[in-house]
Amino acid sequence: MADAVNMTAEEMETLYEEAKTIYYHVKDIEKIKKANAIFHQLDGYKESAAYAKKTDTMIEFRLGNVVTFGNFEGKPIRWKVLEENGKIRLLFAEDIITNRAFNKERDNVNWEKCTLRRWLNQDFLNQAFTLKERMSIFATRRDNPKNREWSTDCGPKTMDKAFVFNHDEIEHYLPNPEDRGLDEWWWTRTMGHNVLSAECVYMDGSIYDIGLNIAQTEIGVRPCIWVMLR
């Protein structure tokens, strides 16, 4: 491409509109890279600088990358990008961000009613993200199928901005156990062999379908969020 200083106004406008069309209508990341190069090339023409920044973010948050978004207890939160669709991304915490009980009391609960869900969708969102960041996080409908092995009811579908994976989602997004394991257990939202327990992922990445006591406070939390890049 020619430098912007060597282009006519008509040529710059043609490129600008081409890149905007890609930005608004094309999902392919390679095309987004092309638009990004055009916006940077145009060097301040109209709103090219703002679009360059937006497409920089889309490229940074591409599938498989580890990115930072938000801040919890003084540390940036690292996320793995597990799904992309246009400007939408599924982010999964690379690390355990805290240790909490699935539910404060050892009582008959499920994901819909547990205190972990309430904390993630209220206190965590407010503590970890700025208002602008929170506006990028949107609620999605989550399925909560029964425990495969024990047929334990896991409750109705829910609408969540922040959540932890269920058994099926772990196997879909993280099919290899080596991609799941950390140095401590972490919660899923699938109930265990009864409603007083919830499945966890063990340190070797295997899913413990019997589940652990929901009131155990030393189990890790790895949130997931869906964000719209802006």
**pLDDT tens readout for residues 162-195:** 999 999 999 999 999 999 999 999 999 999 999 9
Can you give the pLDDT at residue 120? 98
For residue 230, name the pLDDT band (cuts at 50, 70, 90).
confident
Among residues 174, 184, 228, 229, the alpha carbon closest in space to that of 204 is found at: 184
Alpha helices in 1-84 (DSSP H): 9-25, 29-42, 48-60
What integer is the mean pLDDT of 65-79?
Answer: 98
* 22-41 pLDDT per residue, tens: 999 988 889 999 999 999 99
In this prediction, what percent of the chain has a pLDDT beyond 90? 93
CB 23 within 8 A of CB 59: no
Per the prediction, the chain carries an average pLDDT of 96
Can you give the pLDDT at residue 2? 59
Please give the Cα distance from 71 to 77 (Å, whole number).
Answer: 5
* 37-66 pLDDT per residue, tens: 999 999 889 999 999 999 999 999 999 999
* 194-226 pLDDT per residue, tens: 999 999 999 999 999 999 999 999 999 999 999
Distances 21 to 16, 67, 114, 115 between C-alpha atoms, Å: 9, 26, 44, 44
Given the DSSP bridges, would you call strands 207-213 and 98-99 parallel, antiparallel or unpaired? unpaired
* 132-145 pLDDT per residue, tens: 999 999 999 999 99
What integer is the mean pLDDT of 14-20?
Answer: 96
Can you give the pLDDT at residue 6? 81
Residue 181 phi/psi, 5-degree rounding, is -70, 140
In this prediction, what percent of the chain has a pLDDT beyond 70? 99
Can you give the pLDDT at residue 4? 74
Among residues 121, 69, 22, 28, the alpha carbon closest in space to that of 229 is found at: 69
What integer is the mean pLDDT of 103-108?
Answer: 96
